[in-house]
Structure formats: C-alpha cells, structure tokens
Amino acid sequence: MLAPLVESYLTMRRRCGFALKSEGPMLQRFAAFSDARGEMGVCTQTAIEWAHLGRSVPQRARRLGQVIRFARYARVENPAHELPLPIFGPEKGPRPVPYILSPDDIRRLVQAASESGYRTLRRATYSTLFALLACTGLRVSEAIRLRFADITSDGLVIRCSKFGKSRLVPLHETARAGLERYLAQRHPYAPFDDHVFVSLRRKPLLVRSVETAFRTAARTIGLPCTPSRPRPTPHSLRHTFAVRALETCPDGRDRIMQHTVALSTYLGHGHVAHTYWYLEATPTLMRPIAERCEHFVTGG
C-alpha cells in the first residue's frame, strides 16, 4: 500500500521547507488510485495510466513527474519500486519572453494609474504600487503583503516569500519619499489595518485586482499588445527592473559574477540560474553577449 509511504515522503519534504500545496493532494490521489488496483509499490504502468488522466500533455507531464520524484524516494529503501520514464516530456515548457518597458512606458503607466477611476485613495494606491514594483523589482505578492512594520530605516523587509526566503530590499530616498506620501493619505482611510496597500473596501489588495488595474492603465497609454509580442503584466515591472540592472553590469568576469549574485539575492531568486535567464531573455542583453563571443572566436 502506497498511502503511508506517500505521507512519509510528504512529511520529509515539508520539513525541508517545501509547501507542496498542489503536489501533496496529487500524490495522495495517486496513492489511492494505485491502492485501489492492489499495487504494493510504484508500478510504471499504473503511474502512466494515472498521469494520462490529465487533460493536457503538460498536465500529464507534471503528474508523472511528481510520481517519478516520489519513486526515487521510495527506491532508496526498496528497489522493488519501479521508476517510470518521463514519457510525456518535460514538466515545464520554455519560459515566455518577458515584456520589457521603457522608462517612458513606466512613467506613463504610473501617471495613468494616478488618474484612473474615482478621485479616491485607489489612484494613489495603484500609482504608488506600480512605481514601487518598478524601482524595487518586488513580486506583486510580496508588495501587497507588506505591513507597516516591514518598512524600516534600512529598507523593506520581505518576509517568507517564494521558496520560504526572507530578505531586505533597500529603498532609494525618492522611493521612500513616495511611499511616505502614500502612507500619509492611506492612514486615515483604514487605520485599523496594518497592510501598506489597501483596497476601497479597506482590505488588503488581491493579485487579480492589481492585474485589472494594470491592464486598465496599460490600455490607457496604448502599450503594444499583439500576438507576436509578449503580453504586459504587473510582473513585467519586475522583469524590466532585472534587465535594467543587468544592463548596468560592470566589465570583468569577477565583477560580473558578483553583480549577478547580488542581483539574484536582491530579487529573492531560489537559484542564480533564474537570474542568468534574463541574459538570454531580451535582444538588448543578448546582442552584446553575441558580439563579444564573435570577437573572441575571431581572435579579437
């Protein structure tokens, strides 16, 4: 019976810091599926049949990938467990090309947010939020979870974000001044809620509300959005911050490495490879890399 072994596996991984919000229930369903067939261990054929219940090929690949990771764990104690092959392909497809905004795009976006909707705190909330995302590279989820106590003299304390990490994000004096102006407006509006950003209902912002406000502002300023280009989203502000930071990277192998590792820490990436992705994500950064490679190969 696989159910007890699955619980042991999930307990072990959660103690290592993994939340497993979707993977946990999924593996429990696999264990029930396998136990209903009388299997005593991981069976490749059963795993493939269960994974095939997914509606799409990517979903089937994810389901089978979860079983494969579990099977590796199970085989440590009992090699009789079979290890399925990833016959549905990789679990994750290629990352989409990011939408990079120009400095003028960001200025007009913030201005549009400050003029959108009724003359209420909503205008100040979204214009300040978009400006903060643009100048800090925060994730939307991190920004809307900020509380008053997270604003310190050293910067913003981002608590238990993605990958369970916390970090300190320094603030430029102009960003701090903008945040203080917003808080002066926001305090009388919802004095009993300690979230920095609040909605018109005096509650913390929701991600979908931020996305709606961003789409409205982007449509107002006419940001290009065609099938041949990536779609602008609030996360585009984070992508733009990362690309601009890499564009200012100093010359020299050691200095480039230090700059990239520092940026990776600043952004809260789980691995520095996630930061390297930006080097190949835009023509702006790929062009000088290609030119230097060509220069090196030709003996320059």
* Residue 9 falls in the annotated catalytic set: no
* Residue 92 falls in the annotated catalytic set: no
CB 152 within 8 A of CB 88: no
Please measure the distance between the N-terminal and C-terminal CA atoms of the chain and give it in whole angstroms: 65
Measured in residues, the chain has a length of 300
* Residue 278 falls in the annotated catalytic set: yes
Task: From the candidates 235, 244, 259, 274, give the one annotated as an active-site residue.
Answer: 235
Q: Which helix (H) or strand (E) holds 184?
A: helix 173-186
DSSP track, 267-285? HT-SSHHHHHHHHHH-HHH
Rounded to whole angstroms, the Cα distance separating 75 from 64 reads: 16
DSSP track, 117-134? SSSSHHHHHHHHHHHHHH
Task: From the candidates 60, 81, 122, 139, give the one annotated as an active-site residue.
Answer: 139
Task: From the candidates 162, 187, 202, 219, give the one annotated as an active-site residue.
Answer: 162
CB 185 within 8 A of CB 123: no
Neighbour tally for 110: CB within 10 Å: 22
Of 199, 216, 198, give the one whose Cα is nearest residue 113.
Answer: 216
* Residue 235 falls in the annotated catalytic set: yes
Neighbour tally for 56: CB within 10 Å: 9
* Residue 162 falls in the annotated catalytic set: yes
Rounded to whole angstroms, the Cα distance separating 27 from 14 reads: 14
Of 87, 93, 19, 15, give the one whose Cα is nearest residue 49.
Answer: 87
Rounded to whole angstroms, the Cα distance separating 99 from 104 reads: 14
Catalytic (active-site) positions: 139, 162, 235, 238, 269, 278
